[in-house]
Amino acid sequence: MLRNHRLRILGITFATVLAMACGSSDLNFSGPTAEWPTYGANDNQNRYSPVDQITPGNVDDLEEIWRYHTGDFDDGSGNLMLPTAFQATPVVIHDKLVLCTPFNRVIALEPETGAELWSYDPKVNLDGMYILNCRGVSYWDDARAPAGSTCSHRVITGTLNAKLIALDLETGELCKSFGEDGVVDLARGMGEIQPGEYGVTSPPVIVGDRIITGSFVLDNRRVDMPGGVVRAFDARSGAELWGWDPVLPSAPDAPEGIKYRRGTTNAWTALTADDQLGLVYVPTGNTSGDYYGGHRDGLDYYSSSIVALDVNTGEVAWHFQTVHHDIWDYDLPSQPVLFDFPRDGEIIPAVVQPTKLGHLFFLDRRTGEPLFPVEERPVPQDPVEGEYLSPTQPFPTKPPPIHPATLTADDAWGFTFWDRGKCRELIEQYRSDGIFTPPTTQGTIHYPGYIGGMNWGSLSIDPERELLVVNTTRAAGVVRLIPRKEFEERFPDGHPSLGFELQGGTPYAVERLPLLSPLGAPCTKPPWGTLVGIDIVSGDVRWDIPLGTTRDMAPFPIWLFGPKGVPNIGGPITTGSGLTFIGATTDHYLRAFETATGKELWKGRLPTGAQATPITFRMRPESRQFVVVAAGGHGLMGIPSGDAVVAFALPD
C-alpha cells in the first residue's frame, strides 16, 4: 500500500512538472458555472457569460477537445444554387448542446464530449433555395407539465420552408400537441410563395408561454413579396395569438384570401424581449424593392426601425427609425441587446441597436427615447426618376459612428501603384457623395456595403467592465440601377446571372458588386475589418483594432506581411474573466482578446472560417469551461464551406 501511494505521489508530481513545462495552469474549479440557454446567452441577449476558468493568464493553453461534423454542407459542387454557410450559434441546456444546420436538421450533442445524442430532420426540399441558413434554435420549459413528462422541455426551431417546429429536448421527437403533429405552417394566409422566398432563419424569442417570430423574406425579387408579419404563438398548442402587420392602421386592407399585407418590411434577424416590461424589440429590414422605393406610399413607415411591441397584444408601444425611406438595404441585421445604463445616480433600462452603417443607437427601452443626442443631418439628394428621398437622416452623436462616412478617389488603395490606380479609376466613374448617396443608373459607391458595417453577429456587453464589444467590416460595393427595358434585353429569359436582381414591379432592376482591385483586394484602405471596444457609460471608444489577417485568402508570403484586418461576419462573446472570443474572419481562426484593452492573447486553428458566433459554458462545479464554435465558412465571402463544430478547453 505504501509503495503504491508513493508511486501515485510520484506520478502526480511528474504530471505537475510536465504541465508547468508545457505552460499549463492548474484548473480553478471555484468559479461560477453557467449554461448558454438562449441565442444571446441570457435574457439580455448580451452574449456575456460569468464563467471565468479560462483567464487572460491561461487562455494561451487552450486546446481542441472535440470536433463534430454534421455532414450538412455543399461546397458548390452539388445541386444547390450557392455554397452553404454554417452560421449556427448553439444553445446549451439540461446537459445538451443543441444546434441546427443549413439544411434545417436539429442535432443534440453531449456538451463536453461532442457525442451525438439525437438528430431530427424536417426533410426540407432545398430545390430552388437561394439562401440556406439556420442561425439557431430556442428553448422553452413548460412549467405546468409534470416533471419528466414528454415535451416538458422543448426545442423550438424555424425552417427555410416556413414551418415552426417543437421537439422534445430529451429525445428529439416531435411534440404532437403543438400545431399539427408538432408543426405550425407559417405560410398560411401569406398568399403565393415561391421556393426560397419566405422562411425562418433566426431563432424565435420566447417570453413566458409565447413564441414570437419574424421571418426571412428574400431581397430584391419583386414588390409584392410575402409580408413581413411578426407573430406570437402559444408555446404549448402552437395556436396563433396575434400578428403585427408592419403597416400603419390607415393602410388599405390586404386582398381577399391574404391575411397580411404583401411587400412590407420584415424582421429576419433575432428579436429580444423584456419580460418585466412586457415588450418585445423587433429590428426590421427595409421594404421590398430594396434599392428603389418610389412605389411604397407609406409601406416603409416601420422599415429599418427598432419597434417595441406589447408581448400580449402585438400593439406598437414605440418605434425608432434608424434610416428614413431606406433604399440602400441598410436594414437592422442585428439582435437588440439590453443593458443597464447609469446616469446621474439612476439606472435606466436601455437597449442598444447596431446597424449596417456602423451606427449604435442607445435608447431607453421603456420609451424609445435616445440616451445620447441623435441629429437629423442633410444627406445627398437627386435620385433617379420616380424616386423620392428623405432630406435628412438620423446620426447618433455617441457612440461615434465606427465606420467611415465617405469614400473618394483619394482614398483608393492597392497592393501596388498599378492596382491602386485602377481602384482610383473605378471610384471616379461612380457617384460617391458619401453615406446615403442614392442608387443611380450611373452606379453608386455603396459604403458601407450591404453586409455592413455591422451585421447579424450583433455585439456583446461585459456588464462588469461596462464595455461593449462589436466587430465591423469596412469594404465598399457598387450599386447600379438598370432601367427595365435594358435589363430585359440583357436577360430575355428572365433569369439574371449572379450579382443582378429583378426588383420586379419597379422601373429598375439592380446590379450589385464588390469594389475590388484587379488583384481581388478591396479598393478601400485597410483595415477592412475591426474589433471595437466602447464604454457604455460615456459612449467613448476605448480601443479599435484590426481583426484577422489575409491568411487563407492571399498566397504566402503576402498574407504574412500583408495588411491586418479583414472582412468579417459573425459576432463576439465576453466572459467574467475579462476575455472576448470571436471567429468571424476570412482566416480560419477562433481568437481571444483581453476585453479591457483589445490585446490579442490566443488564436486556435479551425478547419475553415467560423462565420458564426461562439458560445462558452461550464456545466458543473467539477467541469471545465468550454468554448465552442461552428466552423462552416461562407460561400458568398469566398470562405470554403464546411460542417464542423469545434470545442476548446484548458488541458484536464
What amino acid positions are annotated as catalytic residues? Answer: 329
| DSSP 8-state symbol, 17 | H
Q: In the structure grid, which three cell numbers stand for residue 527, read together?
A: 483595415
**CB atoms closer than 10 angstroms to residue 624:** 18
Helices (H) and strands (E) in the chain, counts: 4, 40
Contacting residues for 17 by C-beta, under 8 A, at least 6 apart: none
497 sits in the region (left: phi over 0; alpha: psi -120 to 50; else beta) called: beta
Distances 593 to 546, 590, 603 between C-alpha atoms, Å: 12, 10, 9
- DSSP per-residue string spanning 138-202: EEEE-TTSPTT-TTSEEEEEE-TTSEEEEEETTT--B-TTTTBTTEEETTTTS----TTSEE--S
| DSSP 8-state symbol, 639 | B
Q: In the structure grid, which three cell numbers stand for residue 92, read together?
A: 446549451
Cis, bond preceding 557 (omega within 30 deg of 0): yes
Beta bridge partners of 603: 591
Residue of 516, 510, 515 whose CA lies nearest to 441:
510
Beta bridge partners of 617: 626
Q: In the structure grid, which three cell numbers stand for residue 172, read together?
A: 428529439
Q: Buried b vs exposed e over 219-232: b needs ≥16 C-beta within 10 Å?
A: bbbbbbbbbbbbbb
Strand-pair category, 626-631 with 615-617? antiparallel
25 exposed, middle or buried (CB, 10 Å; 0-12, 13-18, 19+)? middle
Q: In the structure grid, which three cell numbers stand for residue 519, read together?
A: 488583384
Q: In the structure grid, which three cell numbers stand for residue 368, read together?
A: 424609445
Contacting residues for 56 by C-beta, under 8 A, at least 6 apart: 577, 578, 579, 594, 601
Contacting residues for 516 by C-beta, under 8 A, at least 6 apart: 522, 523
Residue keyed to cell 424609445: 368
Strand-pair category, 48-49 with 572-575? parallel
CB distance 647 to 640 below 8 Å: no
Tell me, rounded to whole angstroms, the distance of Cα 574 from its chain centroid. 16
